[in-house]
Amino acid sequence: MIRKTIIKSTLLVAAIALSVQSQAVPSAEALSYTCAGCHGTNGASTGDAIPSIAGLSSTYLVDAMKAYKNDERDPTIMNRIAKGYSEEQFELMGSFFEAQEVHKNRDQTFDVAKAAKGKKLHNKYCSKCHTDAGIVAEDDAGQLSGNAKLFLQYSLADFHDGTRSQEKKMKKKIKKMLKRDKEAFDLIVNYYVSGKK
Ligand code: HEC
Ligand code: HEC
């Protein structure tokens, strides 16, 4: 988790710069500007560490922000950020980002052979809830295809060791998948990072 620590210290500087701005901004669009420094314009992030939030369902985004605020996830930075806003503001952000087009970051590297294997795993174990390779807002289940590699890796690791709570059914599927194939997380992350269906 050394990389996680490095990301954390870099992000802290950005967050401190932004927190001043976030005090007196009322509209949904203005609120979203405070996220852009890390998540990109209108939530379309670049790089492999910060997840895109463009096109996430409002329900998912609001739940995620509440979980960060209440320390129910173990993020590098979002817990500090979420604490600076009210639930009403989360709702405003949710409606703003839901209205944006989903963004796939196609500049990331991935292993083609691993991605092909990962696709099979996804279709077998995950596609029921994560429709269309996991980019459908109505699923209320975040974004998988085209999302940031490190974020996906941490998310899976955090689900697996119980740091981040997950649906019972997903837990079962992940357990089953890992039993069949110890490399499954690596394969499936390469598939998502490929951004392909
Ligand atoms: C300083 C950089 C930074 C800023 C500013 C920032 N974020 Fe984040 N955000 C992150 C990182 C990094 C993650 C991954 C979790 C972590 O490690 O904290 C993340 C994760 C998220 C997630 C979870 C995505 C998912 O798929 O589960 C949501 C939602 C989110 N941020 C919303 C926001 C909103 C809304 C704002 C503006 C109010 C914001 N963020 C501002 C860095 C930032
Ligand atoms: C029974 C439905 C279900 C199944 C099956 C399922 N998931 Fe999920 N998944 C969800 C839900 C719901 C969430 C949102 C959880 C939350 O609120 O944090 C989620 C979230 C995620 C996230 C975090 C996304 C983000 O943007 O933070 C990842 C990564 C993920 N799932 C991977 C998988 C993988 C890999 C599989 C297959 C092995 C899988 N899921 C199977 C329902 C499911």
Domain that holds residue 142: 112-194
State the pLDDT at residue 6: 64
Which one has a higher pLDDT value, 70 or 197?
70
State the pLDDT at residue 12: 61
> Is there a single domain that holds both residue 75 and residue 124?
no
pLDDT greater than 70 at residue 38: yes
Decide which of 98, 124, 159 is a domain's last residue. Answer: 98
Number of structural domains found in the chain = 2
**CATH number of the domain encompassing residue 134:** 1.10.760.10
Ligand 1 lined by 84 (C-beta under 6 Å) = no
pLDDT greater than 90 at residue 142: yes
| Residue 17's pLDDT band (cuts 50, 70, 90) | low
Q: What is the mean pLDDT of residues 1-7?
A: 63
Decide which of 98, 133, 165 is a domain's last residue. Answer: 98
* Residue 44 dihedral angles phi and psi, to the nearest 5°: -90, 95
State the pLDDT at residue 18: 56
Q: Is residue 52 part of a domain?
A: yes
pLDDT greater than 50 at residue 20: no
> Is there a single domain that holds both residue 89 and residue 8?
yes
Q: Among 76, 161, 165, 166, which residue has the most ligand 2 atoms within 8 Å of its CB, making it the best to mutate?
A: 166
Decide which of 98, 125, 146 is a domain's last residue. Answer: 98
Ligand 2 lined by 169 (C-beta under 6 Å) = yes
Q: Which ligand lies nearest to the CA atom of residue 21 in the structure?
A: 1
Q: Is residue 106 part of a domain?
A: no
> Is there a single domain that holds both residue 71 and residue 6?
yes
Q: Is residue 107 part of a domain?
A: no
> Is there a single domain that holds both residue 141 and residue 81?
no
Determine the distance separating the centroid of ligand 2 and the alpha carbon of 141, expressed in angstroms: 6
Cα distances (angstroms) measured from residue 106 to each of 2, 43, 48, 66: 25, 15, 10, 29
pLDDT greater than 80 at residue 64: yes
> Is there a single domain that holds both residue 147 and residue 175?
yes
Q: What is the mean pLDDT of the chain?
A: 91
C-beta of residue 195 within 8 angstroms of C-beta of residue 122: no
Number of H helices, E strands in the chain: 9, 0
pLDDT greater than 90 at residue 105: yes
Q: How far apart, in whole angstroms, are the C-alpha atoms of residue 65 and residue 56?
A: 12
> Is there a single domain that holds both residue 75 and residue 144?
no
CA-nearest of 110, 194, 197 to 146 is 194
State the pLDDT at residue 192: 98
> Is there a single domain that holds both residue 117 and residue 190?
yes
pLDDT 10s digits, 160-188: 999 999 999 999 999 999 999 999 999 99
**Coil, strand or helix: which one is 89?**
helix
High-pLDDT (> 90) share of the chain, %:
83
State the pLDDT at residue 197: 87
Determine the distance separating the centroid of ligand 1 and the alpha carbon of 159, expressed in angstroms: 17
CA-nearest of 118, 66, 70 to 87 is 66
Q: Is residue 21 part of a domain?
A: yes
pLDDT greater than 60 at residue 22: no
Residue nearest to atom 12 of ligand 1 (CA): 50
Residue nearest to atom 33 of ligand 2 (CA): 126
C-beta of residue 176 within 8 angstroms of C-beta of residue 124: no
Residues 6+ apart with CB under 8 A from 75: 68
pLDDT greater than 50 at residue 126: yes
